[in-house]
Amino acid sequence: MILDILKKSKLSVTDGRKKILELFLSSEGALAHADIEKYTGETFDRVTVYRTLQTFVEKGIIHHIPTTDNSILYALCKDNCEEGHHHDNHVHFICDVCSKTICLEDVTVPQVKLPKGFVPKHAEMVVSGVCDDCK
């Protein structure tokens, strides 16, 4: 699984990339840079984490999730994400209690009617509230 993803993107298989992918695959929600660093611990350099995440975004393996506070979150792209094109059109949920971000795979972002002249390419939707675990 992990190897497939890397090979599909023509990336060398390295320990750092495997470890970070492993974390994404095992976590249901989105991850902040800090989460990833905490997980990789002393194993890898902070810089490597930056570069790995950047590479993954470029290759369409992960994508940014918009947040209202000023943090950056990353989440795995689904299969239909191709390099340069992110089609992760599901809604993201941020829990106010546990502050986890969860991908609601089954909830697709609805289409909205834009004013004249606006051409939509991509839409993101983030809902916050209380998640199933915290209610």
Partner DNA sequence: GTAACTGCAAAATATTTGCATCCTT
Partner DNA sequence: AAGGATGCAAATATTTTGCAGTTAC
Q: Which amino acid is at 123?
A: A
Nearer to DNA, 41 or 117 (CB): 41
Examine residue 38 and tell whether it contacts DNA (CB under 7 A): no
Binding of residue 135 to a second copy (CB under 8 A): yes
Of these, 47, 112, 114, 119, which contacts DNA (CB under 7 A)? 47
The b/e string for 60-99 (b: 16+ C-beta within 10 A; e otherwise) is bbbbebebeeeeebbbbbeeebeeeebebbbbbbbbeeee
Stretch that binds DNA, among 13-21, 87-95, 100-108, 124-132 (CB under 7 A): 13-21
> Using CB under 8 A, which residues numbered 28 to 67 contact a second copy?
63-67
Phi and psi at residue 91, to the nearest 5°: -80, 145
Residue with smaller CB distance to DNA, 52 or 131: 52
Among 70, 84, 116, 118, binds DNA (CB under 7 A): 70
Least gap, CB of 113 to DNA (angstroms): 33
CA distance 57 to 51: 10
